[in-house]
Structure 1
Amino acid sequence: MKIIVISDTHIPKRAKKLPEQLIVNLKQADLIIHAGDWQILEVYQELAGYGEVQGVIGNVDGQDIQERFPEKLIIEVHPFKIGVVHGHGKKLTTERRSLDAFKGEQVDCIVFGHSHIPVIKKTDDILLFNPGSVTDKRRQPCYSYGILTIKEDTIKAEHIFFDDKS
């Protein structure tokens, strides 16, 4: 199973459309996960044209997105449970807030966003995965998104980095 993971699209503030680099992989996705800061519902509508989309709200998402998506969710992709949260808040780091969001729940992977910083690391046997941003790299050298590949009893995370967001 191939899962495309994105966050912090910030359309139309940071870009007018999703980058072509991303669209190539969206066409091959079994599932698309968005970890918040869509900014407009049209981003969901476009993504839904490529396949099943699941996601959460971010701190800049308006009422229409808040009515459509939860603050956090757990997606079961046999045999794994993937927690999804944006990760915003006032105390601690984005990673710590994301871990705390699933405290007491059994998850194998946590997908989060907010910082726009690509992350792949294990903490307490949980895979932490931030795809970065396809439209707003901030101080990062490249734009990025992620791919989770699930085969039998393995889950693999990787980033796709690119220079041009058009």
Structure 2
Amino acid sequence: MRIGVLSDSHGNIVNLQDAVIKLNQLNVDAIFHLGDYVRDAQKIKVWCHKPVYSIKGNCDINASTGLSFARIKFNNKIVFATHGHLFNVKQDLDALYYTAVQKGADIVLFGHTHRKLLMKKNDILIMNPGSLIGGRYSEAPSYGYIEISNDNISGKLFELNSDN
């Protein structure tokens, strides 16, 4: 199972489409858009005919589509996805992590900070793919990829305009 992870597109459709093209080349089975702007996630369905899970961010308060969070099972692994603002992720990851533990998550996906993060904490993979518009901290536009194979979970972060 291969999962693409996008966040904080903020209406940058060019970068969004470029990232979806790259994820299609990785043969993803599903894509998460972690908010800001959730309406951009609707466009993903045009470029990728796989399930798209759209999460509302702090800029999506009046959006009629999207979820505040999602808990989805893939290959017997549970993904907990949220934008992050409801868990104060700019301060620390404690509230997000303990909610993920409570929900039995194996993988936690969040955005909001515009900063890439990939780490494991007590066997839970935690990923923030960064932002498709680039970070507020001189980070390039980025996205993420997760692979679930048997009992193994791995993740990778990519800069959008690089060749890796």
Q: Sort the TM-score into its range (normalised by shorter chain).
A: 0.7 to 0.9
- Alignment RMSD, CA only? 2.2
Residues 17-46 of structure 1, C-alpha deviations (whole Å, 9 max, x = no match):
33554132232321001111125x2x1221
Greater mean deviation of Cα atoms: 18-27 or 109-118: 18-27
**Equivalent residues in 2 for 1:150-161, closer than 5 Å:** 150-161=148-159
- Counterpart contact for 2:69–2:81, Cα < 8 Å: yes
- Counterpart contact for 2:115–2:139, Cα < 8 Å: no
- Counterpart contact for 2:9–2:16, Cα < 8 Å: no
Could you say which residue in structure 1 is the equivalent of 2:85?
Answer: 88
Could you say which residue in structure 2 is the equivalent of 1:74?
Answer: 71
How far has the Cα of 1:113 moved from its partner? 0.5
- Is 1:134 matched with 2:112? no
- Counterpart contact for 2:79–2:106, Cα < 8 Å: yes
- Counterpart contact for 1:147–1:158, Cα < 8 Å: yes
Residues 51-96 of structure 1, C-alpha deviations (whole Å, 9 max, x = no match):
21012111011423xx322211111001200100111148562523
- Counterpart contact for 1:147–1:159, Cα < 8 Å: yes
**Equivalent residues in 2 for 1:13-28, closer than 5 Å:** 15-19=12-16, 21-27=18-24, 28=27
- Counterpart contact for 2:134–2:142, Cα < 8 Å: no
Could you say which residue in structure 2 is the equivalent of 1:30?
Answer: 29
- Is 1:6 matched with 2:6? yes
Aligned mates of 1:24, 1:77 — CA distance in 2: 22
Residue identity opposite 2:59 in structure 1: V
Unaligned 5+ runs, structure 2: none
Unaligned 5+ runs, structure 1: none
Aligned mates of 1:113, 1:160 — CA distance in 2: 15
Residue identity opposite 2:53 in structure 1: Q
- Counterpart contact for 1:118–1:130, Cα < 8 Å: yes
Greater mean deviation of Cα atoms: 129-138 or 86-95: 86-95
SS in structure 1 opposite 2:143?
A: strand
Aligned mates of 1:20, 1:72 — CA distance in 2: 23
Structure with greater helix percent:
2
Aligned mates of 1:156, 1:74 — CA distance in 2: 18
In the superposition, the TM-score normalised over structure 1's length comes to: 0.83
